[in-house]
A and B are shown apart, each in its own frame.
Chain A
C-alpha cells in the first residue's frame, strides 16, 4: 500500500467578509487534509459555507487567514496570476449551472482549458473525451442547442482535459433530474478512477455523498466531524 500523499491541506482557515459596518465570519477554524486520489464530499445546510470553502481550496478565493496548500503549492502565498496558472495546470471544475461558454461549441468548450494551459493535441483529446462522455455527435453543437445533462457532460469532459490533479465540483447534479444526475455522477467517478484525480465535491445529495470515500459536514462555517473516519485525527483523510 502506497503512503498517502497530502494533496490538499488547509490549516486554521478563516474567511470573513466586510459588510457595511460589520464583519461577517463565513468560515472559521478549518483544518483539513485530503490525500491524492481521494474522493471527498462536503455536505451541509444551505448557507453553511460549502461553496466558500471550495473556492478557497481551489484557489479561486483567498482565505482571510490561515494556510492552504494545493498540490504542494502554498495558495495563500501565490499571486492571483500564479493561482490562475496553477488552476490551469492542476485543477478542473464542474459547476451546478454547467457554465459553458455560450459562444463556443461543445468541442471548443472542452478544449478551452487545454488551450489556456498551452497543451498540445487539445483537439484530439477533446474528441476522445467527448466520445467518452458519449457526445461525439454533439461536438459542433452550441450549449443552447443541448440539454442540461448534455451540457453537464461537456463540462465534465472539459474538467478532465488537462488531466487535473484535483477536480472540484459544486453541486454537479443539482440542476438535473435524478436519472441524468446519476449518469453524470457515474461519469465523474469513472474518470476520477481512470486518471487518479482527487475529487472534491459539494452536494446536498446524500446518495452522492455516500459514494465518496470521505464525507465532511459543514455547519455554520465550521467543519464538523468527518462522518467516515474513526481515527484520532478525524480531519485527516485518505
Chain B
C-alpha cells in the first residue's frame, strides 16, 4: 500500500525536478569514480607495463651470491613466468686487443617484458637476430674498439665465442648515462664454461618474474623468511627520470580523484538537505492525515533508494562508456593504452553511491520523516535546524571515501584532519567576516545594505554555505594549479633542447677535436666533466671488507666497488649542498659526497676517506654533502673531489649536446671520427618521459573537468537551497512594494559578496595545501602562486554570481502573488 504512494510520489518528484540535483550528484559521483578509477586503472596498467619494460620483468630478485632457488620454486608454484640473468665485468679478448666489458648472460625467455633487438649486422640494425649459445652480441662500439667484425672469434674467460652481431636495443640497459663499460650479451648456459664465476667474484644474479600483480605481491610478502641478506627485491627504477614521473603521476591521479568524489558527495548532501526542507510540510500533512513516522520513513527512504538505483545505474553505464571512449583520447598519447573493463571500478562506484546515500543523504530524510504532524497548524513551520549528526555522518563519509579511494589509511586520515581544521577555521572566519560587514554597509546603496544585512542575519546558514562554496572553489583551484605546476615542473626537467646525446670516454685529444667539430656544426656542448675510476678503501682509517657480511650487508654495498670520480671547481647545476661547504679556491684534499650514499655508508662531514685511483692511494676529508637530482638526465656523481687531488691523473671526459633527430648523419660522423668514444643517446628515454607527461596531462585535464562539474553542481544545489529559504522573504518584500530590479541587485550583491569571500578562503586554503602537497608529496620546492590570488576571488565572484543570477531570474520573474502562494505552499 505505502509502496504505491511512495512510487507515485517518487515519479511526481522526479518529473517536478525535485530529485534531479540529488540524483545528478550521485550520478556524477558514480560517474567520476567509475571513469576515473577505470581510466586510472587502465593508465596504470599501461604505465606499469611500460615500467616493467625498463627492467625487462615485473619483479626482480637480485642477489650477490647466487640464484635463490627457494624463491624460484615458490614462483613456479604460483605459475609465474621467470627468467634468469647474471651480470659481471670481465675482459674480452679479440685477436690482439682486449677491453673491459660489462657482461649480461641471460636464460631463455629473456626479456619477460619489453623487447630485445639484436642485429646480425653492425651497419644495418634491421637484420634481426636471436641469441644462441656460443654467441656474443656486442655493443656496436666494441667492433671498432677491438677492431673486429661480425663472425670473428672472441674469448671471454676460458671460452671461445663468435661475435654474432650487435645489441640494437636492450630493455633493461642501465639508464645511468655514463660509467658503464661496453655491454655484451651472452647465453646463460655458456657462463659456466668461461670459468669466470669464482667464489668472491663480483657478480649480480637476477631472478626475473612476470605475472599477475597479486601473484607477484604474494611472492614477495609470503616469502620474507626465504630471503638472505644478499637478496633484494628490485622494483622499477625509482632513480630514473621515468620512475619519478610514474610515481608522481600515480599519486597525483589518486589525490585528484578524491577531490571530485568529495565534491559530488557534498552536492548530494546539500541536495538531500534541500529536499528535506522542501518536503517538511508535505510530511506533516501526511502525518496529520494518518501516516505514521515509520510509514513516512518508508516512503522517503524508498525515494532515496530509487534515486540511488537510478543514479547508480546510469552512472555505471556512463562511467564505463567514458572509459571506453578514453581509448580514443588516451591512445593518441599512449599507443599501448588499452581501456580495460574491470569490475573493481564498478564496485567502487556502487560503494561510493552507497556511502554518499547513507551517510550524506539518508540523515536529512530520516529527520524529514520525524517532522511532527503538529506543524500543519503552524503558519510558518520552523526551518529544519542545523544537524550535528548529519555533519558527523558526512565527515565520516568523506573520510571513508578518502580511504576507499586512496587505499591508504594514513594519507586519508591526514587529509581528513586537515579538512576538519580548515572547516573549523573557515567557520570562525566566516562568522567574523560576516559580522564586520555591518560597518562596511553604512553609506552604501540600499540594495547593498540589504544584501549585507541579509548576510549578517543568516549568519550560520551563510557560514555553512560559505564553507561549501569555498570547498568547491578550493578543490577546483587546487587541482588546476597542481596540474599546471606539475606539468611545468616535469617539462622543465626535460626541457626542449635538453642534451640528448652523451659522449663518454673522451680523451684529452678527443676533447679538442670535438670542440672544433662542435664549432663547425654549431653544436652546443655542455661542460666537459673529467672522470676517473677509483675506489674508496677506508673510512677514518677503517678498512672495508670486500664481501658483504650478514650483519652489515647494507653498509658495504657500493663501497669497494669502482666509482666514477670527478673533480670540479663549480658545483653542478642540479646539485645542492645540504650541509658543509662547497670547495673554495684553496680547498685541499676535500671530497663532496652525494647525500643518499652518505646515508647508506653512514658518512658525515669531517670523515676521512681513503681513495685508490690507478694504484695510487690518497686521503680526502668530506667537506660537503650534496643532494643530487637523479631525475635529471645529467651526468651525476656520487663523489666529487677537490681539483687539487686529481691534477696528475689521466682522465677521460664526458660531455653532452642536443641533436635534432633529423641530424642523424652527424651522429654517424662523430661515431666514425671517435671510434673509442661511447655515444649514448637518451632520446628514447626523453621521449618516454615526455609521453608520460602528456598522458598524465590528458588524464588531469579530464579529472579537472569532472571536478569542476562537481563544483558547479555543489554551487547550484547550494544556491537553489538558499533561494528557497528566502522565497517567503522575497514574497514579502515584493508585496511590500520592493521593485524586482532592486531585489535582484540585493541578491546579486549578496551572492557576489559570498563568492568573493569563498574565493578568498579557497585561495588561502589552496595556497597552504599546495605548499604542503608540493613539499610532502611531490618533493617540489615551494613557490607562491601569484595567479591564484586573483584567479580565486574572481572565479568565486563570477561563478557564484552567475549561478545566482540564473536561479534568481526565475524566481523574480514570478509575480508577487505566485511567489506568495508558492512560499505558503512549501
Q: Which residues of A contact B (CB under 8 A)?
A: 51-52, 54-55, 58, 60-61, 80-81, 84-85, 87-89, 91, 93, 95-97, 99-104, 108, 112-113, 115-118, 143-144, 148, 158, 162, 170
- Minimum CB–CB distance from B7 to chain A (whole Å) comes to 12
Give A52 to B374 CA distance when docked, in angstroms: 9
Cβ B377 vs Cβ A51 within 8 A = yes
Give residues of chain B (275-293) contacting chain A, Cβ–Cβ below 8 Å. 281-282, 285-293
29 contacts between A and B (CB under 8 A): A60-B372, A84-B292, A84-B295, A87-B289, A87-B290, A93-B289, A95-B376, A96-B379, A97-B379, A99-B376, A100-B285, A100-B825, A101-B285, A102-B16, A102-B282, A102-B826, A103-B12, A104-B12, A112-B5, A115-B1, A116-B5, A116-B286, A117-B290, A118-B1, A144-B822, A148-B821, A158-B289, A162-B290, A170-B377
Cβ B825 vs Cβ A55 within 8 A = no
Number of A-B pairs, beta carbon distance below 8 Å: 93
Write the chain A residue with the least CB distance to B296. A84
- Minimum CB–CB distance from A215 to chain B (whole Å) comes to 20
Give A113 to B372 CA distance when docked, in angstroms: 17
Interface centre among A54, A97, A143, A170 (most CB of B within 10 A): A97
Cβ A108 vs Cβ B374 within 8 A = no
- Minimum CB–CB distance from A95 to chain B (whole Å) comes to 6
Residue B373 at the A interface, CB < 8 A?
Answer: yes
B1-18: CB near A (< 8 Å → 1, else 0) gives 100110011001100101
Interface centre among A80, A84, A117, A143 (most CB of B within 10 A): A84
Q: Which of A54, A91, A97, A101 contacts B286 (CB 8 A)?
A: A101
Residue B824 at the A interface, CB < 8 A?
Answer: yes
Q: Which residues of A contact B292 (CB under 8 A)?
A: 80-81, 84-85
Interface centre among B1, B287, B292 (most CB of A within 10 A): B292
4 more A-B residue pairs beyond the given contacts A101-B9, A103-B282, with a C-beta to C-beta distance below 8 A: A80-B292, A84-B287, A84-B373, A103-B16
Q: Which residues of B contact A112 (CB under 8 A)?
A: 5, 286, 289
Cβ B285 vs Cβ A99 within 8 A = yes
- Minimum CB–CB distance from B277 to chain A (whole Å) comes to 14
Write the chain B residue with the least CB distance to A93. B288
Q: Which residues of B contact A51 (CB under 8 A)?
A: 377
Give A148 to B13 CA distance when docked, in angstroms: 22
Q: Which of A54, A88, A99, A108 contacts B290 (CB 8 A)?
A: A88
Give A158 to B376 CA distance when docked, in angstroms: 15
Cβ A93 vs Cβ B4 within 8 A = no
Q: Which residues of B contact A103 (CB under 8 A)?
A: 9, 12-13, 16, 18, 282
Give A88 to B5 CA distance when docked, in angstroms: 15
Q: Which residues of A contact B8 (CB under 8 A)?
A: 104, 108
Give residues of chain B (376-434) contacting chain A, Cβ–Cβ below 8 Å. 376-377, 379
Cβ B825 vs Cβ A144 within 8 A = yes
Residue B126 at the A interface, CB < 8 A?
Answer: no
Write the chain A residue with the least CB distance to B283. A101
Q: Which residues of B contact A (CB under 8 A)?
A: 1, 4-5, 8-9, 12-13, 16, 18, 281-282, 285-295, 372-374, 376-377, 379, 821-822, 824-826
Q: Which residues of B contact A100 (CB under 8 A)?
A: 285, 825
Give A118 to B5 CA distance when docked, in angstroms: 11
Interface centre among A52, A101, A144 (most CB of B within 10 A): A101
Q: Which residues of B contact A118 (CB under 8 A)?
A: 1
Cβ B294 vs Cβ A81 within 8 A = yes
Cβ A144 vs Cβ B821 within 8 A = yes
- Minimum CB–CB distance from B638 to chain A (whole Å) comes to 74
Write the chain B residue with the least CB distance to A90. B290
A87-B13 contact, Cβ under 8 Å, with A102-B826, A112-B5, A170-B377: no
Cβ B376 vs Cβ A80 within 8 A = no
Cβ B16 vs Cβ A60 within 8 A = no
Q: Which residues of B contact A61 (CB under 8 A)?
A: 372, 374
Q: Which of B5, B18, B281, B294 contacts A99 (CB 8 A)?
A: B281
Q: Which residues of B contact A95 (CB under 8 A)?
A: 376-377
Give A21 to B820 CA distance when docked, in angstroms: 35
Write the chain B residue with the least CB distance to A79. B292
A85-B290 contact, Cβ under 8 Å, with A103-B9, A103-B18, A104-B9: yes
Q: Which residues of A contact B13 (CB under 8 A)?
A: 103
A93-B1 contact, Cβ under 8 Å, with A84-B287, A108-B8: no
Cβ A97 vs Cβ B824 within 8 A = yes
- Minimum CB–CB distance from B25 to chain A (whole Å) comes to 20
The 7 closest A-B pairs by CB, nearest first: A88-B290, A103-B12, A81-B292, A84-B292, A113-B289, A87-B290, A60-B374
Q: Which of A55, A113, A143, A148 contacts B374 (CB 8 A)?
A: A55
Cβ B373 vs Cβ A60 within 8 A = yes
- Minimum CB–CB distance from B290 to chain A (whole Å) comes to 2
- Minimum CB–CB distance from A212 to chain B (whole Å) comes to 20
Write the chain A residue with the least CB distance to B278. A102
Q: Which residues of B contact A93 (CB under 8 A)?
A: 288-289, 376
Give A103 to B288 CA distance when docked, in angstroms: 17
- Minimum CB–CB distance from B19 to chain A (whole Å) comes to 10
Q: Which residues of A contact B12 (CB under 8 A)?
A: 103-104
Cβ B825 vs Cβ A116 within 8 A = no
Q: Which residues of A contact B285 (CB under 8 A)?
A: 99-101
Cβ A87 vs Cβ B288 within 8 A = yes
Q: Which residues of B contact A115 (CB under 8 A)?
A: 1, 4-5
Give A148 to B822 CA distance when docked, in angstroms: 12
Cβ B291 vs Cβ A54 within 8 A = no
Give A91 to B824 CA distance when docked, in angstroms: 24
Q: Which residues of A contact B1 (CB under 8 A)?
A: 115, 118
- Minimum CB–CB distance from B278 to chain A (whole Å) comes to 9
Write the chain A residue with the least CB distance to B15. A103
A88-B377 contact, Cβ under 8 Å, with A103-B18, A104-B12, A143-B825: no
- Minimum CB–CB distance from A94 to chain B (whole Å) comes to 11
Write the chain A residue with the least CB distance to B822. A144
- Minimum CB–CB distance from B538 to chain A (whole Å) comes to 82
Give A85 to B293 CA distance when docked, in angstroms: 11
Cβ B282 vs Cβ A84 within 8 A = no
Q: Which residues of A contact B4 (CB under 8 A)?
A: 115
A88-B291 contact, Cβ under 8 Å, with A104-B12, A112-B5: yes
Q: Which of A52, A60, A96, A102 contacts B825 (CB 8 A)?
A: A102
Cβ A55 vs Cβ B377 within 8 A = yes
Q: Which residues of B contact A113 (CB under 8 A)?
A: 289-290
Q: Which residues of A contact B282 (CB under 8 A)?
A: 101-103
Q: Which residues of A contact B281 (CB under 8 A)?
A: 99
A116-B373 contact, Cβ under 8 Å, with A102-B282, A102-B825, A144-B822: no
Q: Which residues of A contact B290 (CB under 8 A)?
A: 84-85, 87-89, 91, 113, 116-117, 162
Write the chain B residue with the least CB distance to A83. B373
Give A143 to B282 CA distance when docked, in angstroms: 13
Q: Which residues of A contact B16 (CB under 8 A)?
A: 102-103
Cβ A60 vs Cβ B5 within 8 A = no
Give A194 to B822 CA distance when docked, in angstroms: 34
A88-B289 contact, Cβ under 8 Å, with A99-B376, A103-B18, A115-B4: yes
Write the chain A residue with the least CB distance to B9. A103
Write the chain A residue with the least CB distance to B284. A99
Write the chain A residue with the least CB distance to B287. A84
Write the chain A residue with the least CB distance to B290. A88
Give A43 to B5 CA distance when docked, in angstroms: 37
- Minimum CB–CB distance from B600 to chain A (whole Å) comes to 68
Give A108 to B290 CA distance when docked, in angstroms: 16
Give A88 to B372 CA distance when docked, in angstroms: 15
Give A103 to B372 CA distance when docked, in angstroms: 20
- Minimum CB–CB distance from A162 to chain B (whole Å) comes to 8
Q: Which residues of A contact B289 (CB under 8 A)?
A: 87-88, 93, 112-113, 116, 158
Give A143 to B281 CA distance when docked, in angstroms: 14
Give A100 to B5 CA distance when docked, in angstroms: 15
Cβ B286 vs Cβ A60 within 8 A = no
Write the chain A residue with the least CB distance to B14. A103
Write the chain B residue with the least CB distance to A148. B821
Q: Which residues of B contact A80 (CB under 8 A)?
A: 292-293
- Minimum CB–CB distance from A5 to chain B (whole Å) comes to 23
